[in-house]
Structure 1
Amino acid sequence: MTASGALESPAASRPLPSAAAFAHRLRRGLAMKEDPSTAAYDRIMRRLGISIGIAGVIFGFVELPQIAEQGRYAPAWWTVLAVVLAFGWYPVIAVVSAVSGPRATRFVCGCAAVGFLGALASIPFGLEMHTVDSTTVWLYRVAPVAVTAAVLAWPTRLTVTYLLVACTSAAAATVYTVTAATPQNVGENFLRAAGLAALCVWCGTAATGAAARVDRESAIASRRAAAQAAAQARDRERARFAALIHDAVLSTLLEASRAGTASDVLQRQAERTLEQLDEYRGDERDPDLLDARSAVLFLRAAVHEINPSIRFATRTWPGYDDLRMPVHSASTIAAALTEAVRNSLRHAAVPGREVRRTVTATVSAGSIRIAFSDDGAGFDLAAVSADRLGISMSILGRMRQLAGGSAFVESQLGEGTTVTLVWGGDGSR
Structure 2
Amino acid sequence: MPAAEWRVTRIAPRRRAAVTRAQVETISSRALGLFGLVFGAQTLPSAIAQSSVLVEGAGPALMAVLYGAIVALAVATVTKVAVRTACLAFAGLYVVALLAWPFLVAKPALIAESAPWLYYVCTVATTAAVVALPAVWAAAYTIVVPAIYGGIRLLPAGGEVDVLLAVLDAMYAVILGVVVLIIVTMLRQAAEAVDSAQEAALQRYDFAARQHATESERVKIDALVHDSVLTTLLSAAAAESSQEQALAARMARDAVQRLDEAAATGPRVLDRIGLPVLVRRLRAALTTFSTPFTVRVVNAGGVELPVEVVEALYTASVQAMVNSLQHADEAGRSTRREVRIRGVRAGGCVIEISDNGRGFDPAHVPGERLGLRVSIEERMSNAGGSAEIVSRVGHGTTVTLAWPAGVEGDRA
How many residue pairs get aligned? The number is 275
| Structure 2 residue 326 is matched with structure 1 residue 397 | no
Query: Are residues 42 and 127 of structure 1, via their aligned partners in 2, closer, same or farther at CA, if it must alter by over 3 Å?
Result: same
Partner of 1:113: 91
- Once residues 305 and 38 of structure 2 are traced to their aligned partners in structure 1, the CA distance between those partners, rounded to angstroms, is 46
Q: Which of 149, 158, 175 is 1:170 aligned to?
A: 149
Q: How does 1:82-97 map to 2 (within 5 A)?
A: 82-97=62-77
Letter in 2 for 1:142: V
Query: Are residues 76 and 60 of structure 1, via their aligned partners in 2, closer, same or farther at CA, if it must alter by over 3 Å?
Result: farther
- Once residues 129 and 249 of structure 1 are traced to their aligned partners in structure 2, the CA distance between those partners, rounded to angstroms, is 101
- Once residues 196 and 426 of structure 1 are traced to their aligned partners in structure 2, the CA distance between those partners, rounded to angstroms, is 50
Partner of 2:295: none
Partner of 2:112: 133
Query: Are residues 134 and 332 of structure 1, via their aligned partners in 2, closer, same or farther at CA, if it must alter by over 3 Å?
Result: farther
Partner of 1:361: none
Asked if the contact 1:137/1:173 (under 8 Å) is kept, the reply is: no
Query: Are residues 243 and 42 of structure 1, via their aligned partners in 2, closer, same or farther at CA, if it must alter by over 3 Å?
Result: same
- Once residues 329 and 54 of structure 1 are traced to their aligned partners in structure 2, the CA distance between those partners, rounded to angstroms, is 32
Question: SS of the residue aligned with 2:180?
Answer: helix
Residue deviations 1:296-333, cap 9 Å, x none?
xx58xx9xxxxxxxxxxxxxxxxxxxxxxxxx953389
Q: In angstroms, what is the RMSD of aligned CA positions?
A: 4.9
Q: How does 1:339-418 map to 2 (within 5 A)?
A: 397-401=345-349
Question: SS of the residue aligned with 1:75?
Answer: coil
- How far is 1:166 from its partner? 1.4
- Once residues 168 and 90 of structure 2 are traced to their aligned partners in structure 1, the CA distance between those partners, rounded to angstroms, is 25
| Structure 2 residue 137 is matched with structure 1 residue 161 | no
Asked if the contact 1:50/1:94 (under 8 Å) is kept, the reply is: yes
- Once residues 117 and 425 of structure 1 are traced to their aligned partners in structure 2, the CA distance between those partners, rounded to angstroms, is 49
Partner of 1:49: 29
Question: SS of the residue aligned with 2:141?
Answer: helix
Asked if the contact 1:75/1:126 (under 8 Å) is kept, the reply is: yes
Q: Which of 41, 50, 53 is 1:70 aligned to?
A: 50
Identity of aligned residues (%): 22
Query: Are residues 86 and 205 of structure 1, via their aligned partners in 2, closer, same or farther at CA, if it must alter by over 3 Å?
Result: farther
Query: Are residues 232 and 207 of structure 1, via their aligned partners in 2, closer, same or farther at CA, if it must alter by over 3 Å?
Result: same
- How far is 1:50 from its partner? 3.4
- Once residues 158 and 406 of structure 2 are traced to their aligned partners in structure 1, the CA distance between those partners, rounded to angstroms, is 73
Partner of 1:224: 204
Letter in 2 for 1:104: A
- Once residues 224 and 134 of structure 1 are traced to their aligned partners in structure 2, the CA distance between those partners, rounded to angstroms, is 66
Query: Are residues 93 and 230 of structure 1, via their aligned partners in 2, closer, same or farther at CA, if it must alter by over 3 Å?
Result: same
Query: Are residues 424 and 137 of structure 1, via their aligned partners in 2, closer, same or farther at CA, if it must alter by over 3 Å?
Result: closer
- Once residues 107 and 238 of structure 1 are traced to their aligned partners in structure 2, the CA distance between those partners, rounded to angstroms, is 54
- How far is 1:240 from its partner? 4.5
Letter in 2 for 1:203: I
- How far is 1:147 from its partner? 1.0
Asked if the contact 1:85/1:119 (under 8 Å) is kept, the reply is: no
- Once residues 28 and 77 of structure 2 are traced to their aligned partners in structure 1, the CA distance between those partners, rounded to angstroms, is 8
Question: SS of the residue aligned with 1:167?
Answer: helix
Residue deviations 1:325-381, cap 9 Å, x none?
xxx9533899xxxxxxxxxxxxxxxxxxxxxxxxxxxxxxxxxxxxxxxxxxxxxxx
- Once residues 235 and 140 of structure 1 are traced to their aligned partners in structure 2, the CA distance between those partners, rounded to angstroms, is 67
Letter in 1 for 2:307: S
- Once residues 223 and 168 of structure 1 are traced to their aligned partners in structure 2, the CA distance between those partners, rounded to angstroms, is 48
Q: How does 1:317-356 map to 2 (within 5 A)?
A: 330-331=306-307
Query: Are residues 214 and 397 of structure 1, via their aligned partners in 2, closer, same or farther at CA, if it must alter by over 3 Å?
Result: farther
Letter in 2 for 1:90: I
- Once residues 64 and 190 of structure 2 are traced to their aligned partners in structure 1, the CA distance between those partners, rounded to angstroms, is 33
Letter in 1 for 2:151: A
Partner of 1:18: none
Query: Are residues 425 and 161 of structure 1, via their aligned partners in 2, closer, same or farther at CA, if it must alter by over 3 Å?
Result: closer
Letter in 1 for 2:142: L
Letter in 2 for 1:190: A
Query: Are residues 242 and 400 of structure 1, via their aligned partners in 2, closer, same or farther at CA, if it must alter by over 3 Å?
Result: closer
Letter in 2 for 1:198: V
Partner of 1:185: 165
Asked if the contact 1:113/1:146 (under 8 Å) is kept, the reply is: yes
- More displaced, 215-224 or 119-128? 215-224
| Structure 2 residue 176 is matched with structure 1 residue 200 | no
- Once residues 348 and 404 of structure 2 are traced to their aligned partners in structure 1, the CA distance between those partners, rounded to angstroms, is 12
Partner of 1:58: 38
Question: SS of the residue aligned with 1:168?
Answer: helix
Query: Are residues 245 and 50 of structure 1, via their aligned partners in 2, closer, same or farther at CA, if it must alter by over 3 Å?
Result: closer
- Once residues 166 and 404 of structure 2 are traced to their aligned partners in structure 1, the CA distance between those partners, rounded to angstroms, is 67
Question: SS of the residue aligned with 2:161?
Answer: coil
- How far is 1:38 from its partner? 10
Asked if the contact 1:150/1:162 (under 8 Å) is kept, the reply is: yes
Letter in 2 for 1:119: A
Query: Are residues 77 and 216 of structure 1, via their aligned partners in 2, closer, same or farther at CA, if it must alter by over 3 Å?
Result: farther
Partner of 2:100: 122
Partner of 1:363: none
Query: Are residues 231 and 93 of structure 1, via their aligned partners in 2, closer, same or farther at CA, if it must alter by over 3 Å?
Result: same
Partner of 2:60: 80
Query: Are residues 249 and 105 of structure 1, via their aligned partners in 2, closer, same or farther at CA, if it must alter by over 3 Å?
Result: same
- How far is 1:78 from its partner? 1.9
Asked if the contact 1:47/1:97 (under 8 Å) is kept, the reply is: no
Partner of 1:149: 128
- Once residues 80 and 140 of structure 1 are traced to their aligned partners in structure 2, the CA distance between those partners, rounded to angstroms, is 17
Asked if the contact 1:54/1:91 (under 8 Å) is kept, the reply is: no
Asked if the contact 1:140/1:170 (under 8 Å) is kept, the reply is: yes
